Structure 1
Amino acid sequence: MNSLNPKQPVVRRRYFLIAPLLLASSASFADVSPALDRFDLSLGGYYANTDTTIGAGARSGQFSAKGNVNLERDLGFEDHKTVPRVKLDFLIGDHQGFSFDYFSINRSRTKTLSDDISYGGNDYDASASVRGKLDFDFGSAAYRWWFGSGNDVFGLGVGAAYYRVRAGISGIATLDGESAQASTSYSETAGAPLLQLGWRHAFNDSLRVYFDASGVKKNGGDLNGHIYNAALGLEWYPWKNLGFGAEYAYTRIKLNDVQSDYNANLDLKLHGPSAFVKFRF
């Protein structure tokens, strides 16, 4: 027993030398960057300038009857639309977490035409009354990694996106010289892989700036295409857990729906400012 005693102080000395290093390393890793929050919920609206083109064509061997309609130009849709948007981010640990995003566009309008239009194999003459409708829902969920420390962090996220499209036109159409009630519509849902990139900078605990970019690209299947989004924003927290956000964003949505008897497409551009009420914990 006595022969072991000389070794014990050596072991203790090594432990006391290593322990502070481990604790310092652990404390450094446990620090959350001031550019991030444990929980961040944003509720707001996206006041977007919109440019929307929908197309549909009957298919018989080749696309024999085509038609594209710009909702703003041809049907008089307002070129500005306030789109509700919800964002949620929360951390698991200190450098990883989940990010969720959702917005929905629902638009419809009835107009008496001043020019002839064709859509889905139907011809709608000038003076005909037609109704156009577009519903688009987009939601995404991603797992994100944040790199860096201090006031600047950079993020990478991978996940999945869900989108649903319903579009159509109805009214009095001319077919083979006869006028009759006609309509063409389609509805599709799909999912696709998602990639996100992000940057956060904290000026102080109350004021931060950020940049986010994301992309969805789907090949194959009935509904395919791409969705890209980029946003530059500012966050201000006059109170510890309640604040406000403002950002400018650009979104491009281009989808194709290919079926055995028809082809349909959506080309939607959104850009403009957003405002949010933000909650953090």
Structure 2
Amino acid sequence: MFNRLRPMATLGLLAATSTGALADSGTSNSGTAKLDDTAWLQIAAYRPQVRTSVRLDSGGQRGTDLRAEEDLGLRDHPSMPAFLVGLRLAERWRAEFEYFDLRRSRRELAFPGDGIEFGGGTFNAAVAARVDIRTFRLSGGYSLLRTPTSEAGLVLGVHLTKFAMSMEGDAIVNGVATPFFLEKRKRDAPAPTLGAYAAHDFASGWLVDGRVDLLKFNARGYRGHLVNAQANIQYRVTRHVGLGVGWRLDDMQLDGNGSSFKGRLDYRFNGPQVFLRFGL
């Protein structure tokens, strides 16, 4: 199941495990003090390629598998903000909170043939279709390696995905033509994650860092997986302000057969980010 995720997960793991080894290379640049921040704020602009598959079942009726970008016409290269706040709790302990969201909608859609099954309705056309995904990540980490120029450790976190999908239009509901029928579902999907992180101050003003978080779950009528991975390079313009670029992957699959959600959500964000980082 993780075959298609392996390249980016490997990139994140390499960044999260190999940068610590650079500390042995003799490079020293403690004057920049980028790893001594006690608190940090990162504001990023993320422009990924997005691939989203959704399906909404109702009772014993299986919905139509929809590719949100092709079938619903949602943007496949959106720009989205991401915010990260970090705090060093002790010499080797740290905590981080991250948030980003993607909200997309499309109006005036037509579905040829027999239409599509979406929840409790069969739609031949839609006034509006919408898929929203909001992501929150709270984590605590412990640095197994901690030097003036390098840091690497393990992290345990909670990843919360809040998603909503809806469609409104003329539909057949229980065999009856229903104008302006609205079908909407919301679901919160919290899950624990285990991961690794690392950073290395490799030259005057320059820092590389990486992180990867993994999860596979199957419980209470829900199963799926989650992979977050990223690798970045940052230049510290001043002691407290840095500019950076990176590449990140956010991939989640959720198959639900529970009381609050029956269907499927499968999304993959993969692309570059630029960010501004403030440290104290």
User: If the length of structure 1 is used for normalisation, what is the TM-score?
Assistant: 0.78
Q: For 2:70, what is the secondary structure of its paired residue?
A: helix
Could you tell me which amino acid in structure 1 is paired with residue 54 of structure 2? I
* C-alpha distance 36-195 of structure 1, shift in aligned 2 (>3 A): farther
* C-alpha distance 253-41 of structure 1, shift in aligned 2 (>3 A): same
- Which of 72, 80, 84 is residue 81 of structure 2 equivalent to? 84
Which residue of structure 2 lines up, in the alignment, with residue 171 of structure 1?
169
Kept in 1, the 8 Å contact 2:116–2:123? The answer is yes
Within 5 A, what are the aligned runs for 1:94-105? 94-105=91-102
Could you tell me which amino acid in structure 1 is paired with residue 77 of structure 2? H
Could you tell me which amino acid in structure 1 is paired with residue 150 of structure 2? D
* C-alpha distance 244-178 of structure 1, shift in aligned 2 (>3 A): same
* C-alpha distance 130-157 of structure 1, shift in aligned 2 (>3 A): same
* Unpaired segments ≥5 residues, structure 1: 1-31
- C-alpha displacement of 1:236: 0.8
Query: Highest CA radius of gyration, 1 or 2?
Result: 1
Q: Is 1:74 the counterpart of 2:79 in the alignment?
A: no
- C-alpha displacement of 1:131: 1.4
Q: Comparing 77-86 with 217-226, which one deviates more in the overlay?
A: 217-226
Q: Comparing 240-249 with 186-195, which one deviates more in the overlay?
A: 186-195
* Unpaired segments ≥5 residues, structure 2: 1-31
- C-alpha displacement of 1:222: 5.8
Aligned-CA RMSD value: 2.4
* C-alpha distance 196-205 of structure 1, shift in aligned 2 (>3 A): farther
Q: For 1:81, what is the secondary structure of its paired residue?
A: coil
Kept in 2, the 8 Å contact 1:90–1:99? The answer is yes
1:51-74 per-residue CA deviation (whole Å, 9 max, x = no partner) reads 111101122xxx333222221101
- C-alpha displacement of 1:98: 0.8
- How far apart, in 2, do the equivalents of 1:44 and 1:278 lie? 8
Which residue of structure 1 lines up, in the alignment, with residue 225 of structure 2?
226
- How far apart, in 1, do the equivalents of 2:47 and 2:203 lie? 28
Which residue of structure 1 lines up, in the alignment, with residue 149 of structure 2?
151
Kept in 1, the 8 Å contact 2:194–2:214? The answer is yes
Q: For 2:220, what is the secondary structure of its paired residue?
A: coil
- C-alpha displacement of 1:261: 8.5
Could you tell me which amino acid in structure 2 is paired with residue 104 of structure 1? D
- How far apart, in 1, do the equivalents of 2:94 and 2:119 lie? 45
Q: Is 1:110 the counterpart of 2:104 in the alignment?
A: no
1:222-274 per-residue CA deviation (whole Å, 9 max, x = no partner) reads 65533211111111111111121211111112123333486122111101111
Which residue of structure 1 lines up, in the alignment, with residue 205 of structure 2?
206
Aligned-pair identity (%): 21
Which residue of structure 2 lines up, in the alignment, with residue 58 of structure 1?
58
Q: For 1:65, what is the secondary structure of its paired residue?
A: coil
* C-alpha distance 65-255 of structure 1, shift in aligned 2 (>3 A): closer
Kept in 2, the 8 Å contact 1:135–1:166? The answer is yes
Structure ranking higher on relative contact order (CA contacts 8 Å, 6+ apart): 2
1:185-234 per-residue CA deviation (whole Å, 9 max, x = no partner) reads 21122422121211211113511011111124443236553321111111
- How far apart, in 2, do the equivalents of 1:105 and 1:57 lie? 23
Q: Comparing 260-269 with 78-87, which one deviates more in the overlay?
A: 260-269
- How far apart, in 1, do the equivalents of 2:90 and 2:260 lie? 51
Could you tell me which amino acid in structure 1 is paired with residue 132 of structure 2? D
- How far apart, in 2, do the equivalents of 1:181 and 1:142 lie? 43
* C-alpha distance 245-35 of structure 1, shift in aligned 2 (>3 A): same
How many residues align structurally?
245
